[in-house]
Amino acid sequence: MPMNQFISPKQIYHGEGSLDKIELILEELNVEKVFLLTDAILKELGVIDPLLAHFEKAQVEVEIFTGVVPEPSLETANAVLEAVRNSKADLVVGTGGGSALDLAKTAAALAENEGHVEDYLNLTGKKTLKNKGLPKVLIPTTAGTGAEVTNIAVFSLEESKDVIAHNYLLADYAIVDPALTYSLPPKVTAASGIDAFTHALEAFTSVNATPLTDTLAIDAMTRIAGSLRTAVWDGQDKKAREEMALGSLIAGLSFFNAGAAGVHALAYPIGGLFKVPHGESNAVLLPYVYDFIWPACQDKMVKVAAIFGLPAEGKSKQELALGVVKSLRKLVEDVGVPTRLPEYGINEEDIERLSVNGAAQKRLLARSPKELDLNAIRTIYTNAYHGRLSS
């Protein structure tokens, strides 16, 4: 077996009540001032009130930034970076969905480095982070992005998306408390949950998968497939919320180390060009990407079939793989997320521009078990436009 590595945050607290550990973290780091990054609706709804109560109890100064927006642009990211640099805080805490966490870890990492966010982008940036930056605590309020345990931050550009990827973006502490997700609305629960399942599935079929990431991915898919519908249909189901929070965390650890692939590569242009939320961009493409690539990962698709409870007796690998593809689309449909591109205002003439931008995501495409060249990408977008599966 070849040598592999596994990377994760320094410390992860998870489970109901884990938010209480923030006081211990503040003490360990001798924090005097916190820069708290969140979005206005979480503050307005009182979701962050328990966190603020912990800060008050610990007698630390808090500066709150509530300018988080979905699918953040470079302009937003640079505004957050400037605010953190000016705050003189000694700890950055990000709480919210993936956008809040990505902005927090980026600002914390870049706070003690030169330049702006665009200087460090994967596709076009010229700089490399030299200093670790400020310590950071990431606390998700959705069960989906896994951003609390990855070293990647995603930003919307005019026609696609780009990322900063560096281990200095890793959280020093991640806190995954399912209680913070209880008030999540069904639409966000659905999109973020499909995002989490996509992370696990793409990690499982990635060319960089290892026995360790496979174990995590299988566990994550099992939890999410078994609880996502319930979490969407009955948000007060505590067990479903707990399973989704843990499943998302485990999926994040798996895909951070094995890598996302074709679904994410093709989703980025949909988010960039049409401002479709990230989880929905993944969801609308998920069945069509796997309908195309399954011949290159048949053995693993057989294992996914078992997760979906598909009868295996008398079935060929091909039949089981195609059954998984149908199960993926049914899962997306059952939680109320669109499964065709026109539902997002995407026209057939947009496919070429999407395809060219998707083909530029070489970092992600390189992990696909089946090569996805421009023609393949064009085919997948076309199938997603028509809602067409091969069987």
User: In 3D, which of 138, 133, 97 has the Cα closest to residue 13?
Assistant: 138
Q: Is residue 5 part of a domain?
A: no
Q: Is residue 391 part of a domain?
A: no
Which of 181, 211, 239 finishes a domain?
A: 181
Structure token digits, residue 317: 């690998």
| pLDDT tens track for 229-246 | 999 999 999 999 999 999
Mean pLDDT of 195-216: 98
Indicate the pairing of strand 161-165 with strand 152-156: antiparallel
Is the same domain home to 110 and 236?
no
| pLDDT tens track for 55-109 | 999 999 999 999 999 889 999 999 999 999 999 999 999 999 999 999 999 999 9
Measured distance CA(336)–CA(350) in Å, rounded: 24
Q: How many domains does the chain have?
A: 2
Mean pLDDT of 254-274: 96
Mean pLDDT of 276-287: 97
Residue 262: pLDDT band (50, 70, 90) is very high
Look at residue 1 in the predicted model and tell me its pLDDT: 67
Q: What is the pTM of this model?
A: 0.95
Please provide the average confidence, as pLDDT, over all residues in the chain: 96
Residue 279 neighbours by CB under 8 Å, 6+ apart:
144, 145, 190, 191, 192, 193, 194, 195, 337
Residue 144 neighbours by CB under 8 Å, 6+ apart:
97, 98, 191, 192, 193, 194, 195, 196, 248, 279
Q: Side-chain half-sphere of 328: how many Cα atoms within 13 Å? A: 33
Residue 391: pLDDT band (50, 70, 90) is confident
| pLDDT tens track for 306-354 | 999 999 999 999 999 999 999 999 999 999 999 999 999 999 999 999 9
Is the same domain home to 116 and 230?
no
pLDDT at 112 over 70: yes
Mean pLDDT of 154-158: 88
Q: Is residue 53 part of a domain?
A: yes
Please state, for a pLDDT cut of 70, what percent of the chain lies above it. 100
Is the same domain home to 216 and 174?
no
Q: Give me the domain span that covers residue 60.
A: 11-181
Is the same domain home to 263 and 347?
yes
Mean pLDDT of 378-384: 99
Residue 46: pLDDT band (50, 70, 90) is very high
Look at residue 157 in the predicted model and tell me its pLDDT: 87
Which of 181, 216, 243 finishes a domain?
A: 181
Look at residue 318 in the predicted model and tell me its pLDDT: 97
Residues β-bridged to residue 62: 34
Residue 96 is part of a domain; what is its CATH number? Answer: 3.40.50.1970
CA angle 297, 207, 331 (to 5 degrees): 50
Is the same domain home to 230 and 306?
yes
Q: Is residue 201 part of a domain?
A: yes
Is the same domain home to 229 and 345?
yes
Is the same domain home to 124 and 237?
no
Is the same domain home to 173 and 254?
no
Look at residue 39 in the predicted model and tell me its pLDDT: 93
Look at residue 255 in the predicted model and tell me its pLDDT: 96
Is the same domain home to 168 and 193?
no
Mean pLDDT of 133-139: 98
